[in-house]
């Protein structure tokens, strides 16, 4: 079998890419999952989180945010979409004006409004909430969230291999000539292709390259060993709460019409500050790990193994009842939760590796520099609420306790499958694993289409940017055949 382009992974990245490649090309999508969520397929790829990544349940960041299914994690995602700001992407090798062009294309693809227009429209409505330090931006929510529906929309030039797992690259001498896959009918099937794009999600794409280096003894990363390093997430932390008794917010900062507003720093990246943004939630459900467990089960419509590992069903039910009661009380009290999403600075001590059983061990680290930034931003949020909304702000003091910070927050920090940094993009092959065209520095015909190429994490949810990069990559690859 010979293909022009083989895409490994049928998640949002792989699907968007395939949709934008020209019909004259012969394209294959290798997808480990099926058209329906299959418990069995999703059982055999567990990894470990040795530091952060264990909230709301054990090994959440490695296992439960790498769904094997045609549609990938779009089965469980929430659809939050927003572009990177120019200053968040200033260290990227792609000029922002160019990235922006592909954001416009991604808006059309995902059926979203123009973000530029939306922010202009919101300006009047939210003007009074702006200050010298804070501005208001909007997220949009993708309406048709599950990319699975694309399965029936491909033309004949696209062949989808379901329940088929990429095992390794197929080399002839030193050149990648294709891949080796296991299909339901045949093990170690060789498929030739001119180009291979890894679109397996941030962790799994990195794992494929690490395994190739270890088992096939081929250079895939860079000479400084950066493959698998600089893992970044968006630590989600509840900072505290306040009572909006004067109803300053009225119907503002609430999710409606598929959009939601939040506070964004006007001038991030100063002294100790990296970046962060804040939403004001009307409920504490996100702080209830059993509510998050339940949400996950409802989304996959299954009872995934390990979701209640080392946990009593009795506690699960008790916590859900308590959560429902809290919700009721919070509504009466006009209580608002201050929910922050922070940016992390790329840090070489935050990394993933593969153990001897081929499992991912994720060593997601939060550095002192990150914590300093969290603290500074928390102070700014606190001042904002005191000055603009309500004197009665209750910030959890633990955020300031740098000595005991990890002990307190390890069981609390949520990272929602935003797997960034481990195959970083840079035109300098000593710093990056891929160049600005998402092409491996070491292999001209292998590309990575995933959030693992993000050189900085910003505070934007990643999928909208992944789709923009996939459309850009489709154009780049098309030119190779023109
Ligand atoms: C609970 C949750 C909520 C989220 N909410 C949001 C949100 O609101 N907004 C946002 O922007 N992002 C969100 N995300 C992140 C979002 O889901 C990911 O950014 C997005 O799915 C990444 O797309 P992808 O195609 O790169 O990878 P994935 O979605 O992970 O897809 C990768 C595909 O590759 C396949 N694959 C992996 N290994 C192999 C192999 N060896 N062989 C063959 N196939 C393979 C997998 O089966 C999968 O289908 C959320 C994530 C989670 C877990």
- Check if the beta carbon of residue 29 is closer than 8 Å to that of residue 159: yes
Ranges 22-36, 43-57, 125-139, 344-358: which has the least confidence:
43-57
- One DSSP character per residue, 148-203 reads GGGGGG--TTEEEETT-EEEEEEEETTEEEEEEEE-SS-SSEEEEEEEEEE-S-HH
The CA distance from 414 to 419, in Å, is: 13
Which CATH number covers residue 349?
Answer: 3.50.50.60
- Opening angle at CA 442, ends 441 and 445, nearest 5: 85
Q: What is the mean pLDDT of residues 435-443?
A: 97
Quick check: CB of 72 below 6 Å from ligand 1? yes
**209-218, 383-392, 404-413: the lowest-pLDDT one:** 383-392
Instruction: Give the 3-state secondary structure of residue 454.
Output: coil
Distance CA 89, CA 473 (A): 18
Q: Which of 259, 417, 458 to mutate to test the pocket of ligand 1 (most atoms within 8 A of CB)?
A: 417
Q: 203 vs 40, which has greater pLDDT?
A: 203
Closest atom of ligand 1 relative to the 13 alpha carbon: 25
Work out which ligand 1 atom sits closest to the CA atom of 449: 26
For atom 49 of ligand 1, which residue has the closest CA?
Answer: 72
Average pLDDT over residues 87-102: 97
Rounded to whole angstroms, how far apart are CA atoms 84 and 458? 7
CA-wise closest residue to 480 among 98, 206, 104, 196: 196
Q: How far apart are CA 176 and CA 443, in angstroms?
A: 8
Residue 416's φ and ψ, nearest 5 degrees, are -105, 55
Domain that holds residue 329: 2-480
CB of 74 sitting under 6 A from ligand 1: yes
- The Å distance, Cα 69 to ligand 1 centre, comes to 9
pLDDT (mean) for 395-415: 96
> Which of 32, 60, 463 should be mutated for ligand 1, with most atoms under 8 A from CB?
463
Per mean pLDDT, which range of 84-93, 316-325, 358-367, 429-438 is the poorest?
Answer: 316-325
Pick the atom of ligand 1 nearest to 299's CA: 1
How far is the centre of ligand 1, averaged over its atoms, from the C-alpha of 418 (Å)? Answer: 9
pLDDT at residue number 333: 83
Q: Which residue in the block uniquely carries the two structure tokens 């180009």?
A: 195
φ/ψ region of 314 (left if φ > 0, alpha if ψ in -120 to 50, else beta) reads: alpha
The count of structural domains within the chain is 1
Res 1: pLDDT:
81
* Cα of 200 from ligand 1 centre, angstroms: 7
CA of 67 to the centre of ligand 1 (A): 6
For ligand 1, the distance from its centroid to the CA atom of residue 272, given in whole angstroms, is: 32
Q: Which residue CA neighbors atom 18 of ligand 1 most closely?
A: 463
Q: What is the pLDDT of residue 429?
A: 95
């Amino acid at each position: 079998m010979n293909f022009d382009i083989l895409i490994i992974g049928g998640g949002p990245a792989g699907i968007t890419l395939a949709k934008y490649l020209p019909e004259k090309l012969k394209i294959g999508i290798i997808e480990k999952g099926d058209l329906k969520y299959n418990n069995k397929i999703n059982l055999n790829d567990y990894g470990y989180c040795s530091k952060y990544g264990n909230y709301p349940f054990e090994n959440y960041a490695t296992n439960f945010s790498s769904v094997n299914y045609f549609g990938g994690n779009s089965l469980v995602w929430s659809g939050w979409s927003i572009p990177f700001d120019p200053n968040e992407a200033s260290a990227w090798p792609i000029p922002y004006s160019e990235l922006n062009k592909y954001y416009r294309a991604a808006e059309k693809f995902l059926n979203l409004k123009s973000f530029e227009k939306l922010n202009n429209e919101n300006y009047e409505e939210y003007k009074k909430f702006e200050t010298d330090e804070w501005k208001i931006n909007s997220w949009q929510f993708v309406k048709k969230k599950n990319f699975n529906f694309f399965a029936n929309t491909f033309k004949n030039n696209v062949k989808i291999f379901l329940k088929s797992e990429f095992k390794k690259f197929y080399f002839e001498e030193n050149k990648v000539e294709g891949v080796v896959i296991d299909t339901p009918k045949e093990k170690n099937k060789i498929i030739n292709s001119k180009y291979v794009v890894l679109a397996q999600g941030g962790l799994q794409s990195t794992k494929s390259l690490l395994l190739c280096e270890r088992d096939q003894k081929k250079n895939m990363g860079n000479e400084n060993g950066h493959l698998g390093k600089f893992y970044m997430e968006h630590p989600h932390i509840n900072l505290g709460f306040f009572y909006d008794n004067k109803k300053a917010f009225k119907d503002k900062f609430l999710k409606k019409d598929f959009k939601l507003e939040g506070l964004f720093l006007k001038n991030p990246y100063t002294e100790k500050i990296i970046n962060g943004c804040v939403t004001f939630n009307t409920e504490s459900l996100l702080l209830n790990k059993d509510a998050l467990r339940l949400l996950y089960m409802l989304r996959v419509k299954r009872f995934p193994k390990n979701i209640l590992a080392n946990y009593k069903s009795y506690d699960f039910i008790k916590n859900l009842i308590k959560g429902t009661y809290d919700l009721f009380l919070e509504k009466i009290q006009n209580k608002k939760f201050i929910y922050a999403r922070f940016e992390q600075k790329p840090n070489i001590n935050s990394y993933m590796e593969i153990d001897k059983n081929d499992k991912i061990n994720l060593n997601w680290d939060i550095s002192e520099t990150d914590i300093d930034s969290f603290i500074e931003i928390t102070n700014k949020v606190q001042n904002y609420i005191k000055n603009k909304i309500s004197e009665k702000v209750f910030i959890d003091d633990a955020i300031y306790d740098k000595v005991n910070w990890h002990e307190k927050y390890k069981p609390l920090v949520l990272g929602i499958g935003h797997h960034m940094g481990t195959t970083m993009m840079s035109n300098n092959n000593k710093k990056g694993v891929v160049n600005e065209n998402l092409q491996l520095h070491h292999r001209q015909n292998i590309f990575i289409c995933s959030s693992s190429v993000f050189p900085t994490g910003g505070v934007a949810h990643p999928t909208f940017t992944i789709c923009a990069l996939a459309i850009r990559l489709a154009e780049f690859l098309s030119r190779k055949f023109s």
